Amino acid sequence: MNKIIVANQKAYLTREGVQSFLNEFAGGEVIFCPSFPFLCLFNNHILGGQDIAASSELSATGEVTADQLKSLNCTYAIIGHSERRKFQKEDNEITNQKLLTTLNAGMTPILCVGETHEEYDLGLTRGVVKMQLDASLANANGEVIIAYEPVWAIGSGLTPTNEEIDDVVNFIKELYPSYKVLYGGSVKASNIAKLNEIHSVDGYLIGGASSKADELNEIVKSCQ
Ligand code: PGA
């Protein structure tokens, strides 16, 4: 089994935390997406931005552009994470712009989609996911990785059943057959063996557990 593993370390670690994480990380093929200031500490690893500026405007306080990410050896960028959609009010239009910017820069976008708990309860998952995908992928040409991340599963310790994940991942693959599809939302060392039973899933986008070296070591061991 060789699953794609994306480590979205969010804002969990300080510089010291990153250094001890790296001392304890046992190795393996992981796409690391640390906080921007710490990208430089991840020598000889595959790297991605947790976000990317929508345009290449240079007079843009606080933004990190595609050129800057590329100069730090990033080959991936996470786009449309639900925390950006929620806290930065990013909509599908911005997500589409960021996705096209990433592709134009020759990098691979990791596009996050997923339903809220309310939408899940109402049985709207497929419709929400399709709408997010179609809007975010408009005019896209090139390699894209899609991460199916139910918003209610992120950081909550909850996950859909394997059957539910398999159903949505297959649905996405029917819509966009050439893209790899990851699952994200409370992936941990304790549930990775069960999740690995879902053959349609090409890998995982891991948040909280990816900044703890012992957790990530276990996950890498089960997946590679
Ligand atoms: P989690 O986050 O693994 O902490 O649930 C996943 C994500 O937000 O990508």
DSSP letters spanning 73-133: TEEEEEES-HHHHHHS---HHHHHHHHHHHHHTT-EEEEEE---HHHHHTT-HHHHHHHHH
169 contacts: CB under 8 Å, gap ≥ 6: 148, 181, 183, 198, 200, 201
Segment 42-51 mean pLDDT: 97
Query: Among candidates 127, 138, 124, which has minimal Cα distance to 80?
Result: 138
In this model, does residue 51 exceed pLDDT 80?
yes
- What SS3 class is residue 206? strand
Burial call 177-193: b when 16+ CB within 10 Å, e when fewer: eebbbbbbbbbbbeebe
Q: How far is the CA of 93 from the centre of ligand 1 (A)?
A: 23
- How confident is the model over 20-40, as a mean pLDDT? 98
What are the pLDDT digits (tens) for 65-110? Answer: 999 999 999 999 999 999 999 999 999 999 999 999 999 999 999 9
Residues with CB under 6 A from ligand 1: 8, 149, 154-155, 184-187, 205-209
Q: Is 64 within 8 Å of 51 (Cβ atoms)?
A: yes
Backbone angles phi, psi at 71, to 5 degrees: -70, -15
Active site residue 81: yes
The whole-number pLDDT of residue 157 equals 95
Q: Ligand 1 centroid vs 150 CA: distance in angstroms?
A: 10
Per-residue pLDDT of 129-162, as tens digits, reads 999 999 999 999 999 999 999 999 999 999 999 9
Task: Give the per-residue pLDDT at 81.
Answer: 96
pLDDT at 180 over 90: yes
Spot the catalytic one: 90, 115, 149, 218.
149
Predicted local confidence at residue 1, as pLDDT: 74
